[in-house]
Structure 1
Amino acid sequence: MEKLPPKLENKLRERLAQDAFRRLPSYTDRIDFSSNDYLGLAQNDDIAKLTLELLHGTNNFNGATGSRLLTGNHTGYSELETFLAVHHRAETALVFNSGYDANVGFFSAVPQRGDIVLYDELIHASIRDGIQMGHAKSYKFAHNDVGDLKRRVESIQAQSAKDADIYIVTESVFSMDGDTPDLFAMVKLCEEHSCYLIIDEAHATGIFGEGRDMVCALGLEEQVFARLITFGKAMGCHGAAILGSEALKDYLVNFARSLIYTTALSPHSVAAVQVAYQVLGQIGPTVHNQLFENIGFFKEECKKLGISDSFVESNSAIHCVVVPGSGRVKQIAAHLQEEGFEVKPILSPTVKEGSERLRFCLHAFNTTEEISRVLLSLKKELQP
């Protein structure tokens, strides 16, 4: 095989020197404090069985056979999108192959040349990538700081052309901190300044709002321009959708390249999402209660052990303890893994250098005994 170009070899050497070299992990049977399977649906036997039953006699294709605009828009899509719109209290839904595809497609196509995108400084990489592919100017605002956002909006509107649209984007639950912005304040700001608010609900989908999302839980559906929901986290499947108006859906079908130029999801993938929502409707109260009980227990145990101050404040399933330095955070993660806990270090450049962290994902299926043990082990590692 051809050797790697020298410039690429140098970049790999730099990553190694920074102690931030990435490798694909192997499967383990450690106690799960790392996956996004918050409700345990990815391992639910009923979903697997009912998905096959739903497909039997209707659509036995293994693949979609083409893009959605060619031959891949099988009947499962219309059924799922109709359901999603009703369930998530939106005018319509458009399913994409993944959250990454949805964000790249939206942000590369919707904001136009001369428009402005204001994004939270900790926004997901897929949104940043989509913005970079588009033609609008973009600026970050301080994390969850509505005051800073307001100052930037007012400054931009004072200097920009009259027809410049401003798009504001945030997450309802941030993937690396687990915290939540003041969405009421952001909605009010957008209404006062005629901005368009987009909310990435990836880590809230299926968890908040009785199996819906954070926007539904807060009753803000009518005040948000677009929402991203995903099925690969709490829903335990694969894919994503943009929720918004019929006109927005028409626009994305015509201009979102990540939808237009890719093979559609297989009938099995789409059916699995339908069934996952069906099963969640049946077991939701049980798994939701268990998840939030575990979140409360985790936070109380942190207080008892005197390590609360080390964690980023969060009321979601994601809890992060900041451990600066790639070497140190990797060492602690390795020790926790040796004790049987699947806890992963998050390194720069995924997070800002100096804010490396251990990310604990809580699940409905974690036991209080497991939570107590992992936190006791963590305390030992954090002690000088």
Structure 2
Amino acid sequence: MPVPLPDDASVLLLPPDAAEVACVARGVISAVAPRGGLTGLQQTLLAAMFHSLTGFDIDPLAVQAELADKPYGARDLAEDLHRRNAAFRGRIVQTMVTAELVLDPLPPEVAGRVAEFAAELSVHDDLEDVLLGHADSGRRLAAIDFDRNGYLHDFDVHHTQQLHVGDGALTGPWTPVEDDPALAARWASLGELPAGTLGRGVYDFYKTRGFAFPGSPGSAPPLLAQHDWVHILADYGTRVESEIEIFAFIARANDDLHAFSLLAMVVSLFETGALAAGAGLFQADRGHLSQPGMAVRFGDALRRAALCAGSNDFMATDWFAVADKPVAVLRQELLLPPKSEEAVTAGSVGPWDAGGISPFQLNAGRKLAEAEGREYAGPAVE
């Protein structure tokens, strides 16, 4: 029997203390540890996430050893969190899902336990059903499952004014739009804005990487291009590791728990390769979340997003409405904190930093500059 959500009189809205964090750690690790114990990536990822999001440090292996002597099940966690609301409980389940997504293959018993914990917490997300159905099945996840059961479950091609595409141009969320001169011109006009504004930053971002503006041949789907503005706003580069940071930031900034599916998609693309392709452009490329320092960078991206003011659906924002605002002003309005020193030391870079661009993008940016008869002025690969 699921533990019901609290009423307004009994709900606990204060940040968790050390004792509650310890309970959550026991619950998460009970749910996600496969036979043989937590993997190395699970250990580093959970330690980084708990540190960044709670301010308290946990030792996943010590917790695991404790659980061997004193098991802690789904009912135990749900009862200990009986005063917590749906949002808090939902974030706990998302932590579990993150830690199960990095298992390759995903064991059915882990997927089943996570689903059990979610049910006891009165949390239901169709994404768990997707993972349970695919666990250890030998099949790759289908992108359509993420679309139908996550952030895009109610996507309507007729209500996408923030994308500024022409009528009838979209047939689905990740439809590329490569023949819309008005859209391409809108993006190109960002180059007329002053330096330091968000729009000018995005314009330079595209030029230095040789990206085609939405509406022109070879461009990314307009919905995917929404996340490019966040690269400038939140100061993340464009290598695969930075893309993981970006989508962690986007998913956590939105109070709609469905947004987590965007992060699940990226982890499945760029860590396990369980998803072959996604977002109309990305292709599977394994092992990037396992890279040294990435757990710290991942946790810090979640922390920064959690500290932003309000709920922010960055994929549904009309960025052109704020394109003329200085980036510094937008960050102040969002209360967006800077990256932690730990994340920077671990390798987190911005779009203009050395290492904030891939070799392919650098070459494309230089070729575009040569074709346009201008000097290249972008970041270095290293």
TM-score, normalization by structure 2:
0.26
Q: Which has the higher contact order (CA 8 A, sep 6+)?
A: 1
Q: Give the structure with the higher percent strand.
A: 1
TM-score w.r.t. the length of structure 1 is 0.26
